Amino acid sequence: MRTAGVVGGGVAASVAAVTASRLSPPPEVPTGKETIRDIPEFKTVEINEKSDILIRMQAELKKALAKPVEERRWMMVIDTRKCVGCHACTVACIAENKLPPGVVYRPVVQEEIGEYPNTQLRFFPRPCMQCEEPSCVAVCPVNATWKRPDGITQIDYDKCIGCRYCISACPYGARTSDFGEYYTEDTPELQPYELLSSNEYGKSWNREGHNSPIGNARKCHFCLHRLNEGELPMCVSTCVGRANYFGDANDPDSLVAEMARQHNQVKLLEEKGTKPSVIYLI
Amino acid sequence: MLERTYKNLSKIWMVVFSIGLVALIMKFITGERLAGYGSYVPWGLWVALYFHFVGIAGGVFALGTLGYIFNLTGFRENFRVVIIVSVASVITGLFAIWLDLGQPFRFTRILYAPNFGSMMAFNAWMYTFFIITAGVIFYLTLNKAKQTDFHDKKRWVLPLMSLGFLFSIAFPSQSGAFFGVVDAKPFWSSPLLPILFLVSAITSGGAVLLLVYTFLHYEEFDLTHQPFKMLRYTIIGGIIFYFVAEFAEYSLVFWSPNSHIREAVELILFGPFWWVFWFVHLGGALVALYLLLKGKTYQTVGTGAFIVAVTFVSARLNILIPGQAVAELKGLKEAFYHERLRFDYSATLNEYLIALFIGAFGVALVYFGIKFLSQFTKKKLGTEL
Ligand code: SF4
Ligand code: SF4
């Protein structure tokens, strides 16, 4: 009887011990309120040129700006595999350049590849390609569109007569015309944000009456006003997927030049002979 | 009879002019906001009118010069009318394109700061030279011993007229080249385009000249005589040639399996504005052909000429709009939506009314040009134009 009692007690004890070991934390893990601070802290990501490409590109931008303007050549590489089609760059560009309705510098074009059910979506944002052989420059009757030494195709709003020949000539549809419209037109009053001046091409432009840039052709200029201040173009800074690379193509060590050397790069409508400075990775 | 026609026409003119004027004032107040064109189809009705009027100018001058050189009855002594109609048409065309500019008051830049590599600047300079040349020729024709003489007293008319003739042939063809150089639009990059523009210029120019002669000389000449005969045959030949060339171009597109421009031609023939091709362009040409071939009275022949002069603007529209309405970059249309970022275009009421004003403006230039300069030549020569 006694033996049975001992055996019975032993089983119960071992069951209790197993259960207790399952329910309670292992002895090495501290428990209790006061021990929380002992949990090892997560390491924060160190912000440096290796951890975020923006930091590297920012540094390279400063390097490029130290050179004379004719020795730099701005270039953009867009990795379509990273672009999620969120349109944040489009919106950021609108806000940065105070674009009115109907004027867009960087729409994100969506492309469906394959046939249902084997389809895939691809997004390619379309800024101005800052072509090396731009058709828009060739057709402008008053030299209001011209090629800067750093590769950016510039529009001189004060010279542009608004004939829209350049708009027709651009194969990428990269130019839009400013028709002098406002988002809050036909409401009790125009909102102040619509009347803010934009800072394109190093000047302050107030859209009033028929003043430029109303009536002019407009397009992406790689945020020239930001570049001059050592800042990346707004779309590059905004991109959540870090799908944009930007920098000086003349610097072989730059990230953008590195990306431009990838084997999977394509240019849009290359057959048009415009030699774009925007490259897509596919 | 003519009195009554004049009266009715001047009433119609007054109405058209007044309504158009209101539309024009609205345009100047609102900028381009009332226009229907956008950034993907940046050129619309007024640009088509511009090409139509400069084409007419070229056609009128070219035919008038040929009539002058080959001494066809009624041409030499009426050459000043040719000059007036031609210059009035260029000015009307320039007025149409001026209205289309986003910054119209800067247009002089094209004269003092041009980029001659651009077909637009090149054309603008050519029109200027043409107007000056035509003005000098006008003056020289006053210096002839007899109005039926070939030369003026100093023998300057012929070289200048040859230059003017060159211009008049060049600017319609260059209107075609204006589009041809735009590689972004495959439909425009056709070598046939300058030829089509030239032929339609000769055809519609001939029609306008015939119309003017009908009003001015129906008492002097018989319909079977010059200049009616020559102009009638030219218009008939021009219409046929134009449609043959157009057929050649379109049929090639449909036979080629991977034609880039098929989409544009399909738009012309079967798109939302199919009726412009079938009713206005083809239908108008067929009615005009019938009237010009069979017409026995000034009224019928004049109506035929009027139909050609008006409906041939559809030839311009059918090149202009479909060329722009096909996106090179597929998906762009859906990428960002706004009314101004569409690949279709319909002219707005404001654009139509201003188009009427442009037409009325052209008619007024011809009418007052003839009236005013008749007084001038009367003083100088003792006879009217
Ligand atoms: S993308 Fe278009 S607007 Fe930009 S440089 Fe090239 S041709 Fe000009
Ligand atoms: S719209 Fe302005 S920039 Fe474009 S071709 Fe005309 S004048 Fe030049």
Is B103 inside a domain boundary?
yes
Q: Which of B101, B184, B335 sits opposite A162 (nearest CB)?
A: B101
CB contact under 8 A, B336 and A169: no
Please, are residues B103 and A161 in contact by the beta-carbon 8 Å criterion? yes
In a domain, A13, yes or no: no
What does the pLDDT average to over B185-199?
Answer: 92
Please indicate, yes or no, if residue A111 is contained in any of the structural domains: yes
Q: Residue A256: exposed, middle, or buried by beta-carbon count in 10 A (0-12, 13-18, 19+)?
A: buried
Task: Provide, as residue numbers in chain B, all residues whose Cβ is less than 8 Å from the Cβ of A108.
Answer: 335
B332 contacts A107? CB cut-off 8 A: yes
Whether B346 maps to a domain, the answer reads no
User: What is the number of structural domains in chain A?
Assistant: 1
Stretch among A193-202, B51-60, B252-261, B345-354 having the lowest mean pLDDT: B252-261
> Is residue A8 assigned to a domain?
no
Residue among B29, B30, B32 with most chain A CBs within 10 A, to mutate: B32
pTM: 0.90
pLDDT for A25 equals: 56
% of chain A with per-residue pLDDT over 90: 79
Identify whether the C-beta of residue B264 lies closer than 8 Å to the C-beta of residue B255: no
Q: Answer yes or no: is B50 within a domain.
A: yes
pLDDT at B15 over 50: yes
Q: Is residue A119 part of a domain?
A: yes
Q: What is the CATH number of the domain that holds A69?
A: 3.30.70.20
User: In which domain, by residue range, is B219 found?
Assistant: 39-327
- Is A74 a member of any domain? yes
Kindly state the average pLDDT of the residues B170-175.
89
B258 touches chain A (CB under 8 A): no
**Maximum alpha-carbon separation in chain B:** 70
CB contact under 8 A, A111 and B327: no
Predicted local distance difference test score (pLDDT) of residue A7: 41
Residue nearest to atom 2 of ligand 1 (CA): A170
Write the single-letter amino acid at A77.
V
How many Cα atoms are found within 13 Å in the side-chain-facing hemisphere of B175?
34
Q: Does the pLDDT value for residue B384 go beyond 70?
A: yes
Which of A158, A160, A175, A214 to mutate for ligand 2's pocket (most ligand atoms within 8 Å of CB)?
A: A160
Residue A75 distance to chain B (closest CA, Å): 21
Nearest residue in chain B measured CA to CA from A140: B118
- From residue B231, alpha-carbon distances to B41, B209, B226 in Å are 36, 8, 8
Q: Are A102 and A136 in contact (CB under 8 A)?
A: no
Computed over every residue of chain B, the mean pLDDT equals 93
Cβ–Cβ of B120/A141 closer than 8 Å? yes
* Cα separation, B215 vs B205, whole angstroms: 16
Ligand 1: atom nearest CA of A220 is 4
Q: Is residue A14 part of a domain?
A: no
Domain count, chain B: 1
Query: Is pLDDT of B148 > 60?
Result: yes
CATH number of residue B49's parent domain: 1.20.1630.10
Q: Select from B107, B327, B340 the Cβ nearest to the Cβ of A161.
A: B107
Q: Which structural domain range is residue A262 located in?
A: 21-281
B334 within a domain of the structure (yes/no): no
Nearest CA of chain B to the CA of A181: how many Å? Answer: 7
Task: Write out chain A residues lying below 8 Å of B103, CB-based.
Answer: 160-162, 210, 212, 215-216
Q: How many CB atoms lie within 10 A of CB A157?
A: 22
Alpha helices in B218-295 (DSSP H): 228-255, 262-270, 274-275, 284-294
Q: Does residue B15 belong to any structural domain of this protein?
A: no
* Contacts with B329 from chain A: Cβ below 8 Å: 109, 126, 171-173, 268-269
A170 CB near ligand 2 (under 6 Å):
no
